Structure 1
Amino acid sequence: MDIERFSKISESLRQYRRAELKDFETDIGSKPVDMLYVDPLPGGAVLQTVLSSNTTFLLGRKGTGKSTVFAKAQSVLRERKNVISIYIDVKSIYDVLGATNIPDAEPDTAGISSLTYKAHMLRKVMLGKIISELLKGISDSCESLTLLEKWRGAKKQYDELRNSLMDIGDRVKNSKLEKHEIPVLQKITSQLRLKKQQEASTATSSNGKANAKIKSFDYEISGELTGSLSDFDRTLDDSDIYNEYSDVILKSFPFDDIITEIQTLISESGLLRLVAFFDDFSELSIVDQRLFVDVVLSPLNNSSNEIVKLKIAGYPGRIYHGKIDPSKADTVFLDFSDLYEANEVQEMERSASDYAYRLLETRFKVFGIKLEDYFDVTSTTLIEDYMSMMFRASFNVPRIMGHILHICYLDKISRNEKITLASIRLAAKKYYENTISRYFDRLNRYALEPFENKLDRNNQQQLLNCIVNECRGVRKRIIDKEVGGRYFDNLGGNPQTSHFIVSPDLEEIFSSLESNFFLSRYKNTRDKAGKNVVVYALFMGLCESERMNWGYPEGREYRNYFVQRCFEYTRAIHHFLSQNQTIKCEKCGFCHSMENRKSIELFKWRCPECMEGLCSIVNLSDDFREEVEKLDKDIMLEPIELEIVTTLNDEERKMRAGEISSLIDTTHQMVGKRTSKLQEMGLVAKERDETDGKMRNSLTDRCQETYFD
């Protein structure tokens, strides 16, 4: 048993930016992605779709392998020598940029508030940076492909073209306020003031009761602009203002010049096309997503005469297509419920388990060890049983598999003991309790963020509690023989209650819980009345923590186990929502019952009471607001800083910035910048290692006592 190699396997799987895997090149060679890549579908169907000549959207939750697919696709394209391939990590660009990048206010900004100007310029600087990175990537690719040898004209023309691309990049990176932008910014400033007056009036008439709009996107740009960006975003909810605003920004960037230069480069070099990979697109707020698509992606996709093809990675349900026609693009889903959808749940599970086996077998083989040597395989428990358990415990997310293997390494392998089915269940429980469940408590207590984020997270926690209580209630009714007749007679004292069904209309309600792996959509099916329903499954670690039995009974008579009426939670969820939400008009403040949602939605959320304002779903939040106001804001950290100290606490070792960044999905530059800030706050200690001379970070006693003891 090679304990060190097993540890490296688990480490390589749980890293966020494992598409690079540079730390493991000494173990497996200079091209780790080529050696480790395993396609989610047999025959490499996912990779081939991404390599097609169409624009492609690759959708999956965090950790499902989107970046790895992109890395493998780029590796293939580099070998072809007839395309230019570039990769842009959109989120990392947004992470690094901040208020310090905003140019000073122009002299002719009369009628534009300081907050409006800063929020607008930050957005413009970010979009300019993305375009600049795109042009820089094209220039670098030209050099690596030695396109001069393919150039049909003189050297001077080629150099002029590259210089032109770089000049455009410099221009868009150094964004300035244009005169044609001023009228719409004045209009936004006016709208912001009007909204503030209306909110103040509504708050007074409601005896100070405050409500917060439900948000589909948690991501906020941190720092001093958070509040202004939130207000700015709400103003752009008005489609007319947003359309005018996005058109104005689009005119600020010379896309005619950019596309003309790209077309000239491709045609004169005899190349087929430019393929641009955009990763971590869904981490942006909805307004940032819309602007990114409308200002950057749509012009590249629609105006390049098929010369430019886009490959875009995002989250399911969090994709904005804008003017990109989705019917002319390929969409690939990486989550198991979409990838392996089948009539029978057993067939779906077999396909998902097969991927888990291919993924782990390849990784163990590349690292020079055998998969079967580390699992307690017997005549009754086969390696296939372990792979089925790995799928169920991880929802087939490679990163979660890595975390489960890491915990098994600590619990079993490090002691020269083999992994058992029970140890996988225990690892899932530990991962849930130590990592997933912290999403609620630690962020709500210690994260410096807008109240709306905390409220949204609190509502998710209450929804999860509602589901878990319903599962417990069903288990009790099955045991007491109150439901199901004789169908449940042979299930023993702990029947499986981890799965439930709801109406497809409620899918959006579960999106945040699903994104954070508290539960997962399992399959689409029909209930006993023949209506379409969605089967959801709670995370196995959550079930282990709550002492609930995960799964479903074996045997053909139980193939419809999920659709028994006792597992239908639609009514329970609607009851929960009716107690925690209402539909409120932003203009007159009138609150409508949630039962009226479909009719109000039919009229595009126009208020039936005043016929002028737009309605939105709001959470009833008075009690929670009082809780938040009692929190100690002096010890709160920005979310990324909280992630850094949490990682240092969990790993219990001194870590380099690059090691931390690989586990929290950000750049090592960002980690270095934030750990320096944390050092000044007395929360992180920095020390240069005498053996390799690299700086390592650790928690101070003050940090440990404040946030973790």
Structure 2
Amino acid sequence: MNLEKFSKISESLRQYRRAELRDFEAEIGEKPVDQIYVDALPGDAVLQAVLSSNTTFLLGRKGTGKSTIFAKAQSVLRERKDVISIYIDVKSIYDVLEAANIPEEELDKIGISNAAYRSHMLRKIMLGKIIAELLKEVGEACDKLTLLERWRGLKKQYDELKSSLTEIGVRVKKAKLEKHEIPVLQKITNQLRIKQQQESSSITSVGVKAGAKISPGQVELNAETSGSLSDFDKTLDDSDIYNEYSDVVLKSFPFSEILDEIKTLISESGLLRLVAFFDDFSEIGLLDQRLFVDVVLSPLNNSSNETIKLKVAGYPGRVYYGKIDPSKTDTIGLDFSELYEAIEVQEMERAASDYAHRLLLTRFSVFGESLNSYFDITSSVSIQDHMTMMFRASFNVPRIMGHILHICFLDKISRGDKITVASIRLASKKYYENTISKYFDRLNRYALEPFENKLDRHNQQQLLKYIIDEARSVRKRIIDKEVGGKYFEALGGNPHTSHFIVHPDLVELLSSLESNFFLSRYKSTRDKEGKDVIVYALFLGLCESERMNWGYPEGREYRNYFVQRCFEYTRAIHLYLSQNQTIKCGQCGFCHPMDKKDSIELFKWRCPECMEGTCTIFNLSDDFKEEVKKLNKDIMLDPVELDIVTTLNDEKRRMRAGEISALIDTTHQMVGKRTSKLQEMGLIKKERDPEDGKMRSEITERCEETYFE
């Protein structure tokens, strides 16, 4: 066994950032993505779909490999001489935006509030940065393809076009308030003032200090300034105002000029098309998504005469298409329930386990190691048995596989022991208890964020507890022979209760729990009445933690195990909803406070957050708002700062900004700035390593006592 290599294998799977794996080039060599890539389907079917000439939306939860697929697709396209390929990490551009970029304006004379102006300019600067980055990438791709050698020059000289692209990029980044933007901002300002007048003095008196950095989710304003970015967003819930506003923003950017230059580039150089990859699209807020699609993606896609094709990575249920016609795009889902859907559960599991085997086999081989050398293979337990358990423990998410292997490294490999099926189960339990389950309490207690976010997370937590309680109740009723008749007699005292079925109408309600890996869609089937239902599976680590038996009994007689009536949770979940009240969107799952009832009802219950779903009312604990009021806001941190200190606490080592960013899905620049802020707060200690001269961070004793004890 090579402990160092095994540790690097697990580390390479855990990382969030794009799958270039530069930290491992010494072991892997150049172009690592070409060596590590393993397609989820035989014949590289997913990759081939992404490489098609259609606009493509690639949908999957965090860690399912979207960035790796994009990196591999770009590697293939770079070998071609008839296509330009560019890559934009949308979230990273939003992450590093600062308030200092907003130019000053004399607002009193034109009747625009500081809140409306700063919120607008923040969005405009972000969109400008994305367009500028796109043009910069186009220019660099041109140089790599040495297009000058084949330039025809009928319409424009090559140097002239390159210079024009650069000039446009500089121009769009210099965001300034334009005359045609003033009327809609005046209208938004008026809406903000009306809203302020309607609120109680206790709410309107709240203010925060100016001069701090601005993130896409929050604008910090002077105490005397009315409104906030959140209020600005809510004003745009009105579809008429939003449409007017998005049209105004679109007119601020010279898209006809941009498209003309790109079309000239394609035609004069004899290229087929420009392929633009946009990653981490769903990581930004829903309003930002809408503006990004309406202002950037739609014009590129709809007005380029097939010369530009988009490849967009997002989360299931969190994609806004805007004016892009979904029927004319390819949508590829990466979750195992979509990739390997089959009539028989066993067939689906075999296909999913095969992918887990191929993925790990390749990863170990690339690092010069044999997969079988690290797993305890016996005459009765094969490598396939281990891979089946790896699939069940990770839902086939490569990043979770990396975490499972990391825990197995600490528990087994570091001691010279091989990984067993039982140790994979234990690793899944530890990952759930130490990472996934902390999602609720740590963020609700310590994250500085709007109340609506905490409310939504609280509702998720209560719903999960209800589902777990229902599974326990079903288990007890099976053991007590209250349900199932003779069907469950041979199963003994610990029947499987990890799976349940619900009506498809509840899919969106469960989407937040699914995106955070508490559960996952398992397959589509029909219940005993022949109606369509969705089978869900609880996370293996959750079941291990709750001492529930995961899976289903072996044998043909149990092939319909999941559709037994006792596992039908639709009525139970509806009962829960009737007992806990809030306003929730059936499309995006967002929760709105009850004081929005009249305005939401006025617009026929259309969701103000996603503008597509329909809202309904259900109840929640009245105590929760009081609980939030009692929280100590003085120790709350921005979610990204909480992620940083949590990672340092979990890893128990001094880390570079790049190492932290790879594990929390942000940029190293963002981590560097936030660790400096946390150092000033006495929560992190930053020191330069005497050996390599690189800055490393670790949490202080005060931080550990405050957030983790």
The letter for the 1-side match of 2:648 is: L
1:107–1:484 CA distance, 2 compared to 1 (3 A)? closer
Deviations 1:418-450 (A, max 9, x none): 101110000000000000011101111111111
Aligned: 1:467 with 2:467:
yes
2:387 alignment counterpart: 387
1:216 alignment counterpart: none
Higher alpha-carbon deviation: 120-129 or 192-201:
192-201
| CA distance, structure 2, for counterparts of residue 587 and residue 489 of structure 1 | 47
By how many angstroms is 1:247 displaced?
0.5
Deviations 1:473-515 (A, max 9, x none): 0000000000000000011111110000111001111111101
2:665 alignment counterpart: 665
1:618–1:186 CA distance, 2 compared to 1 (3 A)? farther
% identical equivalent positions: 78
TM alignment of 1:93-112, pairs within 5 A:
93-107=93-107, 110-112=110-112
Aligned: 1:344 with 2:344:
yes
Deviations 1:645-670 (A, max 9, x none): 11000000110000000000001111
The letter for the 2-side match of 1:249 is: V
1:480–1:504 CA distance, 2 compared to 1 (3 A)? same
By how many angstroms is 1:590 displaced?
9.6
By how many angstroms is 1:707 displaced?
1.0
Q: Per the alignment, in what secondary structure is the counterpart of residue 510 of structure 2?
A: helix
1:590–1:43 CA distance, 2 compared to 1 (3 A)? closer
| CA distance, structure 1, for counterparts of residue 606 and residue 147 of structure 2 | 56
| CA distance, structure 1, for counterparts of residue 25 and residue 286 of structure 2 | 38
1:53 alignment counterpart: 53
By how many angstroms is 1:604 displaced?
3.5
| CA distance, structure 2, for counterparts of residue 376 and residue 615 of structure 1 | 51
By how many angstroms is 1:621 displaced?
5.6
Q: Per the alignment, in what secondary structure is the counterpart of residue 57 of structure 1?
A: strand
Deviations 1:117-145 (A, max 9, x none): 11111011101110010001011111111
1:270–1:676 CA distance, 2 compared to 1 (3 A)? same
| CA distance, structure 2, for counterparts of residue 480 and residue 263 of structure 1 | 72
TM alignment of 1:498-509, pairs within 5 A:
498-509=498-509
1:223–1:671 CA distance, 2 compared to 1 (3 A)? farther
Q: Per the alignment, in what secondary structure is the counterpart of residue 306 of structure 1?
A: coil
1:548–1:240 CA distance, 2 compared to 1 (3 A)? same
1:569–1:102 CA distance, 2 compared to 1 (3 A)? same
Aligned: 1:537 with 2:537:
yes
2:217 aligned residue (218, 221, 229): 221
Deviations 1:371-400 (A, max 9, x none): 111111111111101100000000000000
1:268 alignment counterpart: 268
Q: Per the alignment, in what secondary structure is the counterpart of residue 524 of structure 2?
A: strand
| CA distance, structure 1, for counterparts of residue 483 and residue 351 of structure 2 | 33
| CA distance, structure 1, for counterparts of residue 228 and residue 150 of structure 2 | 50
User: Are 1:425 and 1:540, in contact at CA under 8 Å, matched by a contact in 2?
Assistant: yes
1:611 alignment counterpart: none
1:14–1:164 CA distance, 2 compared to 1 (3 A)? same
| CA distance, structure 2, for counterparts of residue 534 and residue 124 of structure 1 | 42
By how many angstroms is 1:100 displaced?
2.4
| CA distance, structure 2, for counterparts of residue 446 and residue 619 of structure 1 | 25
User: Are 2:94 and 2:216, in contact at CA under 8 Å, matched by a contact in 1?
Assistant: no
1:266–1:389 CA distance, 2 compared to 1 (3 A)? same
TM alignment of 1:138-537, pairs within 5 A:
138-153=138-153, 157-200=157-200, 221-222=217-218, 224=220, 228-537=228-537
By how many angstroms is 1:112 displaced?
1.5
| CA distance, structure 2, for counterparts of residue 707 and residue 282 of structure 1 | 28
1:77 alignment counterpart: 77
2:629 alignment counterpart: 629
1:109–1:645 CA distance, 2 compared to 1 (3 A)? farther
TM-score by length of 2: 0.93
| CA distance, structure 2, for counterparts of residue 8 and residue 671 of structure 1 | 22
The letter for the 1-side match of 2:96 is: V
The letter for the 1-side match of 2:245 is: Y
Q: Per the alignment, in what secondary structure is the counterpart of residue 482 of structure 1?
A: coil
| CA distance, structure 1, for counterparts of residue 465 and residue 584 of structure 2 | 25
Q: Per the alignment, in what secondary structure is the counterpart of residue 523 of structure 1?
A: strand
The letter for the 2-side match of 1:495 is: P
By how many angstroms is 1:409 displaced?
0.5
1:127 alignment counterpart: 127
- Structure 2 residue runs of 5 or longer lacking an equivalent are 205-214, 586-591, 608-613
User: Are 2:18 and 2:71, in contact at CA under 8 Å, matched by a contact in 1?
Assistant: no
Q: Per the alignment, in what secondary structure is the counterpart of residue 491 of structure 2?
A: coil
Deviations 1:82-139 (A, max 9, x none): 1111100001111111322222124576222111111111011101110010001011
| CA distance, structure 1, for counterparts of residue 147 and residue 642 of structure 2 | 46
| CA distance, structure 2, for counterparts of residue 5 and residue 495 of structure 1 | 40
1:524–1:465 CA distance, 2 compared to 1 (3 A)? same
| CA distance, structure 2, for counterparts of residue 459 and residue 484 of structure 1 | 31
Q: Per the alignment, in what secondary structure is the counterpart of residue 224 of structure 1?
A: coil
The letter for the 2-side match of 1:393 is: A
User: Are 2:552 and 2:561, in contact at CA under 8 Å, matched by a contact in 1?
Assistant: yes
1:225–1:437 CA distance, 2 compared to 1 (3 A)? farther
| CA distance, structure 2, for counterparts of residue 42 and residue 587 of structure 1 | 47
2:568 alignment counterpart: 568
| CA distance, structure 2, for counterparts of residue 650 and residue 588 of structure 1 | 38
2:680 alignment counterpart: 680
By how many angstroms is 1:201 displaced?
11
TM alignment of 1:39-50, pairs within 5 A:
39-50=39-50
1:501–1:197 CA distance, 2 compared to 1 (3 A)? farther
The letter for the 1-side match of 2:445 is: R
The letter for the 1-side match of 2:220 is: E
1:549–1:698 CA distance, 2 compared to 1 (3 A)? same
| CA distance, structure 2, for counterparts of residue 298 and residue 95 of structure 1 | 23
| CA distance, structure 2, for counterparts of residue 68 and residue 591 of structure 1 | 43
Higher alpha-carbon deviation: 178-187 or 576-585:
576-585
User: Are 1:584 and 1:590, in contact at CA under 8 Å, matched by a contact in 2?
Assistant: no
| CA distance, structure 2, for counterparts of residue 687 and residue 588 of structure 1 | 49
User: Are 2:579 and 2:619, in contact at CA under 8 Å, matched by a contact in 1?
Assistant: no
Q: Per the alignment, in what secondary structure is the counterpart of residue 487 of structure 2?
A: coil
User: Are 1:498 and 1:550, in contact at CA under 8 Å, matched by a contact in 2?
Assistant: yes
2:208 alignment counterpart: none
Q: Per the alignment, in what secondary structure is the counterpart of residue 487 of structure 1?
A: helix
| CA distance, structure 1, for counterparts of residue 109 and residue 621 of structure 2 | 38
1:208 alignment counterpart: none
2:702 alignment counterpart: 702
1:371–1:520 CA distance, 2 compared to 1 (3 A)? same
Q: Per the alignment, in what secondary structure is the counterpart of residue 528 of structure 2?
A: coil
Q: Per the alignment, in what secondary structure is the counterpart of residue 276 of structure 2?
A: strand
| CA distance, structure 2, for counterparts of residue 679 and residue 274 of structure 1 | 44
By how many angstroms is 1:160 displaced?
1.1
By how many angstroms is 1:189 displaced?
1.6
TM alignment of 1:523-672, pairs within 5 A:
523-582=523-582, 604-605=604-605, 617=617, 620=620, 622-672=622-672
1:610 alignment counterpart: none
1:634–1:472 CA distance, 2 compared to 1 (3 A)? same
Deviations 1:633-689 (A, max 9, x none): 111111000100110000001100000000000011110010011111111111111
| CA distance, structure 2, for counterparts of residue 249 and residue 129 of structure 1 | 14
User: Are 2:219 and 2:229, in contact at CA under 8 Å, matched by a contact in 1?
Assistant: no
CA RMSD of the aligned region, Å? Answer: 2.4
1:197–1:564 CA distance, 2 compared to 1 (3 A)? farther
| CA distance, structure 1, for counterparts of residue 584 and residue 492 of structure 2 | 48
User: Are 2:155 and 2:264, in contact at CA under 8 Å, matched by a contact in 1?
Assistant: no
| CA distance, structure 2, for counterparts of residue 475 and residue 277 of structure 1 | 47
The letter for the 2-side match of 1:83 is: V
